[in-house]
Amino acid sequence: MVKTPLLTKEGLGVVFKQVLIMKTDWLIVGAGFTGSVLAERIASQLGQTVILVEQRQHLGGNAYDYYDDHGVLVHQYGPHIFHTNAQYIWDYLAQFTEWRSYYHRVLAVINGKTVPVPFNLNSLEALLPPHYAAKLAQQLIEQYGFDVKVPILKIRDTAKGEDLKWLVEYIYENVFLHYTVKQWGLKPDELSPSVTARVPIYISRDDRYFQDKFQGLPKFGYTKLFQRLLNHPKIKLLLNTRYQEVAEDIHYQRLIFTGPIDEFFNYLHGELPYRSLAFKYLHTEQDYCQTVATINYPNEYAYTRTTEFKHLTGQRVYGSTYIEEYPQVYRRGENIAYYPIPKDEYRAWYRKYELEAEKLQKSVLFAGRLADYQYYNMDQAVARALSLFNKELILKN
């Protein structure tokens, strides 16, 4: 027991405070995919202890899901569809979940019509007269090939022929431009080319949003997957806890930080830019209110898309819950940093923090979307964790 001064209304008093010192091999900050996979690997493969600290009231990071008041399994932070071409990632997670096979399909409302995205040959036929659509499809195939994805900005720079140039500008204006401005607050050409490459023109008849070999969702939800992932006697989980509040009370050998890297260094080089999101949840007594899980609205409304969860989960339950998704400017302390903004000058800014991190490599490791200031899909977050474990932890233990 130690004496701790306490300032009360009556003045300076003295109370006795129980100080609980916890000991662990590893302190990991953040219970999303990166932090949780690292915790599981350290505990199960190295036999070392982990304390996993998460500031939110739940595990799973942005992949967290739960049953709402209507019994619908919803994703609190927007739709999460797992997809990967790496079988080792799929098989690794299969230790902790059964998979529900699912192919994600997305429609976009363009001039009052719903067409598949990524924009493909079927989208072309839905928007234009048949003979003109066929002519343009042939030109696309002749210039770029069939069953290929071509970034919109590349086609803008290389398209030959007046018809194809018109088509590219039409797609850019109606499918990409306004959606990107809503999502990022920037025009497509102001962002890293990796952004426009994520939603290209797909010269194909394949209507699936992803073409990865492995696609699906955890059969019983992401939260159940994380619970099984972290169900190990050498892992202790502290929820609703900021690591700054407990770091002094935990004796650890090494730290893994998956949160915003600028926060870790107390904004030494200023606050890095992020984007945030807000969601409006709606419920209907209809069995379904959309024909596919997600519908994009590039040009109308303040929201970018709506997602109906029963399409994702395959649930059979009365009524249906869907969300509207509103991109926002990130404001520290007011909302959540979802996405590092993919812009070259921001990567250069992040590099200042990366240099600070390199000075701490013997005691602190940084990994994850916010710590690396890098947009990761879920499979990429898992791959980052497994790679870090194999290269940095196994080889040095």
Q: What is the pLDDT of residues 12-68, one digit of tens each?
A: 333 333 446 789 999 999 999 999 999 999 999 999 999 999 999 999 999 999 999
The total number of structural domains in the chain stands at: 2
Q: What is the pLDDT of residue 189?
A: 86
Q: What is the pLDDT of residues 304-315, one digit of tens each?
A: 999 999 999 999
CATH of the domain at 27: 3.40.50.720
Domain end call among 154, 187, 203: 203
Percent of the chain with pLDDT over 90: 85
Which domain range does residue 178 map to?
A: 106-203
Token pair for residue 349?
């800014």
Contact 105, 97 (CB under 8 A): no
Q: What is the pLDDT of residues 207-266, one digit of tens each?
A: 999 999 999 999 999 999 999 999 999 999 999 999 988 888 999 999 999 999 999 999
116 and 192, same domain (yes or no):
yes
Mean pLDDT score across all residues of the chain: 92
Stretch among 3-7, 179-183, 369-373 having the lowest mean pLDDT: 3-7
Q: What band does 5 get if pLDDT is binned at 50, 70 and 90?
A: very low
CA angle, 377 as apex, 323 and 71 as ends, to 5°? 35
11 and 142, same domain (yes or no):
no
Q: What is the pLDDT of residue 47?
A: 96
Q: What is the pLDDT of residue 370?
A: 97
**Residue 100 belongs to some domain of the structure:** no
